[in-house]
Amino acid sequence: MNSEEKKAVAEHIIKIAGFDNTTKGYQAIKLLFDKNEWDFWMLREPQLHRDLAIWLQNIGLKVLIRADKVLLENDAINEYYKNILGMTPEPKEAEKSYCERYNIIVKKD
């Protein structure tokens, strides 16, 4: 997942929800995508946010709803980007070791 994919998913959700930048729903979505979670107590009105979290699940975004917060699952953005928006996410690069990242040559005897 890169930032462009994350931004596209966030903008799509805000657009289909009809939020403008002054609504609490907009603020909750922004928190979710910036920090991968949002706490119900931060934005007050916990019932509104539970309803919003359930709506996010219904439209296909994988979120985990807890008693006090909503968490964005690991591959939620990639799956939404691929399945709902119909776009192909960029492949993840394989994790490189320290030696590979810094071109360190280790000689073994």
Residue 10 lies in a domain: yes
Report yes or no on 108 lying in a domain. no
Residue 93 lies in a domain: yes
Instruction: Return mean pLDDT, the chain.
Output: 81
Does any domain span residue 53? yes
Domain of 55 in residue numbering reads as: 3-101
CA distance 72 to 85: 18
Digit-coded pLDDT (tens) for 43-53: 677 788 888 88
How many whole angstroms from its chain centre is CA 22?
Answer: 21
Is 106 inside any structural domain? Answer: no
Q: Which residue has the higher pLDDT, 87 or 61?
A: 61
- DSSP, collapsed to helix, strand or coil, labels residue 8 as helix
Q: How far is the CA of 66 from the CAs of 8, 23, 26, 53, 56, in angstroms?
A: 26, 22, 20, 10, 14
Q: Is the pLDDT confidence value at 37 over 80?
A: yes
Asked if residue 87 is part of any domain, the answer here is: yes
Residue 109: inside a domain, yes or no? no
For the whole model, what pTM was predicted?
0.69
Q: Residue 106: its pLDDT value, please?
A: 61
Helices 24-35 and 3-17 pack at an angle, to 10 degrees, of: 160
What total of structural domains would you count in the chain?
1
Name the strand (E) or helix (H) holding 54. helix 46-58
Please say if the pLDDT value at position 91 is more than 80: no
The alpha carbon dihedral of 98, 76, 53, 14 has a sign of positive
